[in-house]
Amino acid sequence: MKVRFAPSPTGSLHIGNALGAVANRNAGGTFLLRIDDTDPARNLPGGEEAILEDLRWLGVAWDEGPIRQSDRQARYREAAAGLPERFEGIQLLRPDGTATYHLASVVDDGDFGITHVIRGNDHRSNEQLHRALHAALGTAVPEYVHHGLVLGADGKKLSKRAEGASVASLREEGVPAEAVRAYLEELGIPKHDVQLDLPRIRSLAVEALERLSDDELADRIGVPVGVVPAIRGARTLVEARALADLVLTAPPRITVEGDGEPETLARFRELREAGADSLGKDGAKAVLRELKAVGGNLKTVRRTLTGRESGPELWAVLAALGRDETLRRVDAAL
Domain positions in the chain are 2-151, 212-248, 261-333
Q: Give the domain 261-333 fold.
A: Arc Repressor Mutant, subunit A (1.10.10)
Which residue type, as a one-letter code, is found at position 309? E
Q: Report the predicted TM-score, pTM, of the whole model to 2 decimal places.
A: 0.91
Query: Alpha-carbon distance 260 to 1, whole Å?
Result: 74
Q: What is the pLDDT of residues 245-291, one digit of tens each?
A: 999 999 988 877 777 889 999 999 999 999 888 889 999 999 999 99
**Residue 155 exposed, middle or buried by CB count within 10 Å (0-12, 13-18, 19+):** exposed
Q: What is the pLDDT of residues 50-75, one digit of tens each?
A: 999 999 999 999 999 999 999 999 99
Query: Alpha-carbon distance 178 to 233, whole Å?
Result: 17
**What string of pLDDT tens digits covers the 334 residues of the chain?**
999 999 999 999 999 999 999 999 999 999 999 999 988 888 889 999 999 999 999 999 999 999 999 999 999 999 999 899 889 999 999 999 999 999 999 999 999 999 999 999 999 999 999 999 999 999 999 999 999 999 999 999 999 999 999 999 999 999 999 999 999 999 999 999 999 999 999 999 999 999 999 999 999 999 999 999 999 999 999 999 999 999 999 998 887 777 788 999 999 999 999 988 888 999 999 999 999 999 999 999 999 999 998 999 999 999 999 999 999 999 999 8
Class of domain 2-151: alpha beta
